[in-house]
Amino acid sequence: MEDKLNVAVIYGSTRPGRFCDKVAGWVGTQLAKTGNFSTTIVDPAARGYVDSLRGRLAEADAFIVVTPEYNHGYPAPLKSLIDSIGAEWHAKPVAFVSYGGVSGGLRAVEQLRLVFAELHAVTMRDAVSFASAWEQFDNTGTLQAPERAERTMATMLTRLRWWALALRSARKATPYQQNA
């Protein structure tokens, strides 16, 4: 059996009382269920995260961005985190779990796809989206009707694993060069 893949789960919100903690907690539970991934949390609200950010993202085989949608876009702290790093994103897959109002954060995800394309990352087509998320999770962070989201997440993680393994092998065989 192959080694576990290191997935960096990136929190998109820094707002006090943020809902991101519940959604990211659900993501962590889903990752643990597979047994295929080890998880690194990257939380821009945590003190001192910037100091270790470059190394933690360099060690990641893949990324899952957990993002809300604020005013039809993704949060500024997430953009700052993304822009703080360069080569650590190259030739690695990025998946998205979004949440928000009626759109479920999908407008934020569409914008993030463009940003990650510029960083030479590969975004997953499959994503998990929670419309009116605060109605779907209880106070403890438990998803009330998990079947559909769990199926979608399982598909996304299967494809994320495939891309992570393929791109890790490719990076080992031929180091990725942005300015080739």
Q: 65-122 pLDDT, tens per residue?
A: 999 999 999 999 999 999 999 999 999 999 999 999 999 999 999 999 999 999 999 9
Which band of pLDDT confidence, cut at 50, 70 and 90, is reported for residue 49? Answer: low
Amino acid letter for position 37: F
Mean per-residue pLDDT, 161-175: 96
Q: What residue ranges define each of the domains in the chain, with the CATH number in brackets? A: 5-173 (3.40.50.360)
Residue 36 main-chain phi, psi, to 5 deg: -95, -10
Q: pLDDT tens digits, residue range 27-45?
A: 999 999 999 999 999 999 9
Question: For residues 23 and 143, what is the distance between their CA atoms, to the nearest angstrom?
Answer: 9
Q: Are 175 and 169 in contact (CB under 8 A)?
A: no
Which band of pLDDT confidence, cut at 50, 70 and 90, is reported for residue 1? Answer: very low
Q: Where are the beta strands (DSSP E) in 47-161?
A: 62-68, 93-100, 122-123, 128-131
- pLDDT at 132 (0 to 100): 95
Nearby residues of 69 by Cβ (< 8 Å), 6 or more positions away? 98, 99, 100, 101, 103, 104, 105, 106, 107, 108
